[in-house]
Amino acid sequence: MDKLLIKQCLFYGSWLVWPFVAWLLWRLHERSGRWLIVLLLAGCLLFAWARFVEPQRIRVQETILTGTGARARLVLVIDIHLGVYKNRGYLQRLVDRINTRQADAVVIAGDFTYEPDGKSLQEMFAPLAELHLPVYAVLGNHDQQAPGPDIDAELRSALATHKVNVIEGETVTVRGFRLAGLGDRWANKDDPGFLSALPSTSPTLVLTHNPDSAIDLDPAQAALVLAGHTHGGQIRIPWLYKRVIPSQYGFDRGEQFLRTPHGRVRVYTTVGTGEIGLPMRLFNPPTIDVLDLRP
């Protein structure tokens, strides 16, 4: 069976949990097997929360990061994953929440899509044009070839139309610090060599999709790395979620330090706002991070 069809079946077929919940509630009055019914009901309600409630509960998390050498506020968004599970309406909600925040820029670290299946990317990402702040971005593995499909050129065109600046292999200045963009690691586009060719006396923040890209960075060139990709496990069942996090170096969520051949590199990994695999989140709601950077 086609993988996209399987995901669509999961997405729409999961609504069947509600008539099953109603049937279990109807059976609660029976004495025989009541504990089994209670357990089944609890499991169904947990499933319903993870499928229908938590993936829609967008939270805004504010974090103070000192010692960055920069003084600024950034809105960090990643793993939006519009396509089979999330649509333009969800992106509009993200944009509306971001526009209520005071910051210097919005940075989006890739994975804009997830199985868009021929949908118009220009139309899908139109809400981004309503952001009140400058927007800088890099692409992620789902926007390129791993696992694909490769919509790189079409997506870049759509983002440019909506005033999103893709800065892979480039640097821009934002409020006195340098923001550098690395491409996706799985697509072999995260070579940081251009940073050596463009030395700077300003602190450098590196925007990249995959936190594992930090392994090739020198802490003298990167005061802070902003990334995502891990989803924080997405369905955060204790002891089990770490087995599905796609990180070679043990990244999870929040602030971590990675020991590289060049020294310790500081990385902040966000859990993102979308879903892949299963259309579910548990103990790990979609998150917009507002980073208060201080010297």
Question: What is the Cα–Cα distance from 146 to 106, expressed in whole angstroms?
Answer: 25
Q: Are 130 and 99 in contact (CB under 8 A)?
A: yes
Question: pTM here?
Answer: 0.95
Q: What is the pLDDT of residues 264-288, one digit of tens each?
A: 999 999 999 999 999 999 999 999 9
For residue 186, is pLDDT > 90? yes
Question: What's the rounded mean pLDDT across residues 62-73?
Answer: 96
Q: Where are the domains of the chain?
A: 3-55, 58-293
Cα 23 to chain centroid distance, Å, stands at 37
Residue in this structure with the two tokens 């996706």, named with its chain if needed: 184
Of the listed ranges 121-125, 192-196, 285-289, the least confidently predicted one is: 192-196
For residue 190, is pLDDT > 70? yes
| Mean pLDDT rounded to a whole number for the chain | 95
Question: What's the rounded mean pLDDT across residues 87-104?
Answer: 98
User: Which run of H or of E encompasses 45?
Assistant: helix 34-48
Question: What's the rounded mean pLDDT across residues 145-152?
Answer: 78
For residue 149, is pLDDT > 80? no
- On whether the 58-293 domain is CATH 3.60.21, my answer is yes
What pLDDT, on the 0 to 100 scale, is given for residue 1?
Answer: 55
Query: Which pLDDT band, with edges at 50, 70 and 90, does 167 fall under?
Result: very high
Amino acid at 128: L
Question: What's the rounded mean pLDDT across residues 28-36?
Answer: 89
**Who wins on pLDDT, 288 or 176?**
288
